[in-house]
Amino acid sequence: MASPVARPPQPRGFWARLDQLARASAPAALAVLLLLATGLPLGSAAREGGMPMTPLASVFFWTLYRPGLMPPWVVFGLGVLADLLTAAPLGVNPLLLLLLHVGVMTQRRALAKQSFLIVWIGFAVFASVLLALNWGIRTLLSLTIQPVAPGLFECCVTIAAYPILAYIFVSLERSLEPV
């Protein structure tokens, strides 16, 4: 397993470099696309907080299996983008995603070897804790008690959507070169 600071061999030639750049940025690009996709007008269910928080799944998956492709600054950038796009109070999503990143990093060795079901349960635990924190921070920042039900719903949808998102991530991961 490569350490996050190890330098990969430098590719020679323009096309090889371009290829490597594309591979290195693919997870982040997919995460941004999934984030944008949650804004599409899909009807009434989406209005009640019924869209999954895809950045949570993106950061969780890539930190767990390819931490080199999801460095902290990408996590931070994804969070800021999510804040700006959803008109959330600035700084909330970066904080949550970075905490997820740190949390997964500490549990990586134990979790990466487990079966999909265990990993899913792990994601559910992380998502629940972070979305509870999300509710707390938003309540603190706006100084009004935020409604609980949409947040709870969002949490359930996020956890339920993880297998589908993980399937997309796995197919992308397989197309990338092995570490």
Partner 1 sequence: MIRLSVPLRQALARLMLPALIAASFGLMLIGKADTVLVERVRTRLADVVVPLYAVLSRPIGTVTDAIVELRGLILLRSENARLREENDRLRRWYDRALALEAENRALRRVLNAPADPTPIFTTARVVADVGGAYARSALLVLEPNHAVRKGQVAVDAAGLVGRVSEVGNRSARLLLLTDINSRIPVLVERTGTRAILAGTNAPRPRIQYWTGPEQPQPGDRIITSSEAGAMPAGLPVGIVREGRTGLEVELFADLDRLDFVRVHDFGLSGILSADQSVRPAQRQRRTGG
Binding interface with partner 1 (CB under 8 A): 4-5, 7, 36, 38-44, 46-49, 51, 53, 71-73, 75-76, 79-81, 83-92, 94-95, 98-99, 101-102, 138, 141, 144, 146-147, 149-151, 153-154
- Look-up of token digits 């969780």: 60
Distance CA(5)–CA(72), nearest Å, equals: 12
* Contact call for residues 134 and 92 (beta carbons, < 8 A): yes
Residue closer to partner 1 by CB (options 31, 154) is: 154
Residue closer to partner 1 by CB (options 27, 49) is: 49
For 120, residues 6+ apart whose C-beta sits below 8 A from its C-beta are 159, 162, 163, 166
Q: How far is the CB of 174 from partner 1 (least distance, A)?
A: 26
Distance CA(174)–CA(116), nearest Å, equals: 16
For 169, residues 6+ apart whose C-beta sits below 8 A from its C-beta are 27, 30, 57, 58, 61, 62
Q: How far is the CB of 163 from partner 1 (least distance, A)?
A: 21
Residue closer to partner 1 by CB (options 115, 161) is: 161
Q: How far is the CB of 72 from partner 1 (least distance, A)?
A: 5
State the DSSP code for 2.
Answer: -
Q: How far is the CB of 3 from partner 1 (least distance, A)?
A: 9
Residue closer to partner 1 by CB (options 18, 42) is: 42
Residue closer to partner 1 by CB (options 120, 146) is: 146
* Contact call for residues 107 and 122 (beta carbons, < 8 A): yes
Q: How far is the CB of 1 from partner 1 (least distance, A)?
A: 15
